[in-house]
Amino acid sequence: ETGVTQTPRHLVMGMTNKKSLKCEQHLGHNAMYWYKQSAKKPLELMFVYNFKEQTENNSVPSRFSPECPNSSHLFLHLHTLQPEDSALYLCASSQRTATGETDTQYFGPGTRLTVL
């Protein structure tokens, strides 16, 4: 198993459903990230976990709930989503020092989410 993996690769859900996206990194990194990529928009950072602690939450609606049980796994729990939440959700990981400097971010293949 190499790099950063994400499951599922594709997800279709209704607005009342609850689902979770999973990310796993096999690089020994200590920081993990969730990004959202909507059509024709730059990648938007959603959450950052540094040494398993959430250090950033970029004004993400509460219908998105992250969870980082350990430095290798990251989840994004979804509930009562809206159609405009349809996007590609990308997970990334990197190695951060105690002073905050970070190495290159490596990305997973993404989960393409469609909300009906």
Partner 1 sequence: AQKITQTQPGMFVQEKEAVTLDCTYDTSDQSYGLFWYKQPSSGEMIFLIYQGSYDEQNATEGRYSLNFQKARKSANLVISASQLGDSAMYFCAIRMNSGYSTLTFGKGTMLLVSP
Residues that bind partner 1 (CB under 8 A): 33, 40-43, 45, 48, 50, 55-56, 88, 90, 92, 96, 100-102, 104-110, 112
Dmax over Cα atoms in the chain, in whole Å?
Answer: 43
Tell the smallest beta-carbon distance from residue 108 to partner 1 (Å): 7
Give 13 or 27: the residue with its C-beta nearer to partner 1: 27
Residue 57 CB, nearest distance to partner 1 (Å)?
12
Give the DSSP letter string of 16-59: T-EEEEEEEE-S--SEEEEEEE-TTS--EEEEEEETTEEEEE-S
Q: Which residue has the tokens 């994400």?
A: 6
Q: Which is nearer to partner 1, 79 or 96 (CB)?
A: 96
Question: Judged by CB, which is closer to partner 1: 41, or 70?
Answer: 41
Chain-centroid distance of CA 62 in Å reads 14
